[in-house]
């Protein structure tokens, strides 16, 4: 298996690759040890940027596109020589498909060489919360003094560009290599076992976990109920989890401080260039808490609270909403089925869950609804019956139904 792992700056490709390698070796009953010859023959990971003949700032600031491309080729050749020497059964190559510097985006990679020399089986595009990407870029610039600064909206734009170019690259690899190569978008706050199953245990079903978020976010007991549901799925499947990336929180904090609907229309009079908001990991208006410790990228509690420009949050809010919808629909397109938890929750129909079920059905995906047996609580909505997929009444029934999905993919191990 040859994996091309991409993502914009701040997604921490190297740490993600290392955690994936550790998870893979653990599943193979091996210990992670960089000096162990057996483990190195099973799986290896390589970061292309580590082999650039110059520092990253000089690389980005060079006005000569041909020189940057030449440096990229030199790094790629060094990586391929190392890969050829190690001869691991499975190889992960980490790189940025695109770079952004001073308002310009560049793509120095040579897809022809990637196809002919590396021959990727799959592209994985990593994504993370926009506020965390912003925070890492700012923290890194304090030590590098590179003069880098990205507004929240610039980060969102760059992420879209990176994903689009990776889609195009995957299509190119498919055509050149004569085998299907897909670009899979994965959030770095997903469990490492999720990506292991997706890549190496492909016969395991890919499930999109759908559940009410708006009706549950601000209630600890309801969050615990949702987390139990998510964990039950994560224990058995490769799960695309919408809360592995939780970018709505900055808008929630903004409206809490400046009034409902304050994100609509012009910037409120209460906000100026110095006004900030804080995204925290605790409290009423916080990022959805992450209790798991086995993530692709460890949840860094010390990085919180993240202090953001209120004007930037306002500027990016509509783009965030659009990307949430597009991203969740993309996750569904990457899944085999959608497993929905309580579309009818506490007397209210979840519009998000029903839209996701409807989209999945239109895309030809399997859909399942876990709804308790008290049918008197369903109301008269046409979306609360079986029109959006079969309904089961217990978690065990749901797990059994998902296990019975017909999956034709083969395992790499």
Domain boundaries, the chain: 2-188, 206-403
Whether 387 and 177 have beta carbons less than 8 Å apart is answered as no
pLDDT (0 to 100) of residue 385 = 56
pLDDT (0 to 100) of residue 302 = 83
Stretch among 70-74, 141-145, 203-207 having the lowest mean pLDDT:
141-145
How would residue 381 be classed by pLDDT, with cut points 50, 70 and 90? low
Using only C-alpha atoms, the chain has a radius of gyration, in whole angstroms, of: 22
pLDDT (0 to 100) of residue 215 = 85
How would residue 123 be classed by pLDDT, with cut points 50, 70 and 90? very high
pLDDT in tens, 5-22: 999 999 999 999 999 999
Q: Could you give the angle at which helices 152-177 and 310-334 cross, rounded to 10 degrees?
A: 20
| Beta strand spans in 135-228 (E) | 182-187, 206-210
pLDDT (0 to 100) of residue 344 = 81
**Has residue 100 got a pLDDT over 90?**
yes
Whether 95 and 48 have beta carbons less than 8 Å apart is answered as yes
Q: Please state the rounded mean pLDDT for residues 304-323.
A: 96
Q: Please state the rounded mean pLDDT for residues 37-60.
A: 93
**Has residue 32 got a pLDDT over 80?**
no
Q: Please state the rounded mean pLDDT for residues 83-105.
A: 95
**Has residue 189 got a pLDDT over 90?**
yes
pLDDT in tens, 216-232: 998 889 999 999 999 99
**Has residue 374 got a pLDDT over 90?**
no
- φ, ψ at 108 (rounded to 5°): -80, -10
pLDDT (0 to 100) of residue 30 = 86
pLDDT (0 to 100) of residue 384 = 52
pLDDT (0 to 100) of residue 365 = 96
Structure tokens that stand for 148 in this block:
């880098």
Question: What's the pTM?
Answer: 0.95
Whether 381 and 347 have beta carbons less than 8 Å apart is answered as no
Thinking of the domain 206-403, which architecture would CATH place it in? 3-Layer(aba) Sandwich (3.40)
The H or E element that residue 125 is part of is strand 122-127
Average pLDDT of the chain is 92
- Of the candidates 134, 163, 209, 181, the one whose C-alpha atom is nearest the C-alpha of residue 370 is 209
User: Cα dist. 253→77, 278, 289, 300, 400 in Å?
Assistant: 47, 7, 15, 20, 40
CATH annotation of 2-188:
3.40.50.300
pLDDT (0 to 100) of residue 154 = 97
How would residue 259 be classed by pLDDT, with cut points 50, 70 and 90? very high
Q: Please state the rounded mean pLDDT for residues 284-308.
A: 87
**Has residue 26 got a pLDDT over 80?**
yes
**Has residue 387 got a pLDDT over 90?**
no
Q: Please state the rounded mean pLDDT for residues 62-73.
A: 94
pLDDT (0 to 100) of residue 286 = 85
How would residue 285 be classed by pLDDT, with cut points 50, 70 and 90? confident
pLDDT (0 to 100) of residue 376 = 44
The H or E element that residue 127 is part of is strand 122-127
How would residue 145 be classed by pLDDT, with cut points 50, 70 and 90? confident
């Amino acid at each position: 298996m040859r994996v091309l792992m991409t993502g914009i700056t701040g997604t921490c490709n190297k740490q993600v690759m290392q955690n994936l390698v550790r998870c893979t070796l653990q599943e193979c009953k091996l210990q992670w040890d960089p000096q162990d010859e057996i483990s190195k023959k099973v799986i290896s990971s390589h970061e292309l940027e580590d082999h650039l003949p110059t520092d990253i700032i000089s690389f980005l600031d060079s006005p000569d596109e041909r020189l940057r491309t030449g440096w990229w080729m030199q790094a790629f050749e060094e990586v391929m020589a190392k890969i050829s020497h190690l001869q691991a059964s499975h190889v992960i190559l980490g790189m940025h498909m695109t770079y952004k510097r001073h308002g310009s985006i560049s793509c120095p990679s040579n897809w022809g060489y990637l196809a002919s020399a590396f021959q990727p089986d799959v592209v994985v595009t990593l994504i993370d919360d926009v506020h965390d990407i912003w925070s890492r870029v700012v923290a890194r610039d304090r030590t590098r003094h590179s003069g880098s600064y990205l507004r929240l909206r610039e980060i969102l734009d760059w992420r879209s560009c990176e994903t689009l170019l990776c889609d195009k690259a995957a299509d190119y690899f498919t055509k050149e290599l004569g085998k299907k190569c897909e670009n899979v978008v994965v959030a770095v706050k997903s469990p490492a076992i999720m990506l292991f199953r997706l890549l190496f245990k492909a016969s395991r079903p890919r499930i999109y976990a759908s559940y009410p978020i708006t009706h549950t976010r601000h209630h600890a007991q309801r969050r615990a109920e949702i987390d139990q549901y998510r964990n039950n799925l994560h224990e058995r499947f490769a799960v695309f989890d919408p809360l592995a990336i939780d970018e709505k929180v900055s808008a929630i904090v903004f409206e809490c401080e400046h009034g409902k609907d304050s994100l609509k229309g012009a910037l409120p009079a209460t906000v100026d260039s110095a006004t900030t908001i804080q995204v925290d990991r605790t409290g009423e208006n916080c990022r959805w808490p992450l209790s798991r410790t086995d993530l692709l990228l460890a949840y860094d509690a010390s990085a919180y609270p993240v202090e953001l420009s209120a004007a930037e949050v306002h500027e990016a809010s509509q783009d965030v909403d659009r990307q949430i919808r597009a991203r969740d629909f993309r996750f569904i397109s990457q899944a085999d089925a959608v497993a929905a938890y309580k579309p009818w929750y506490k007397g209210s129909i979840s519009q998000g869950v029903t839209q996701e079920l409807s989209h999945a059905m239109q895309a030809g995906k399997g859909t399942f609804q876990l709804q308790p047996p008290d049918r008197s609580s369903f109301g008269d909505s046409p979306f609360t019956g079986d029109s959006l997929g079969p309904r089961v009444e217990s978690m065990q029934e749901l797990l059994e139904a998902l296990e019975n999905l017909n999956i034709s993919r083969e395992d790499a191990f």
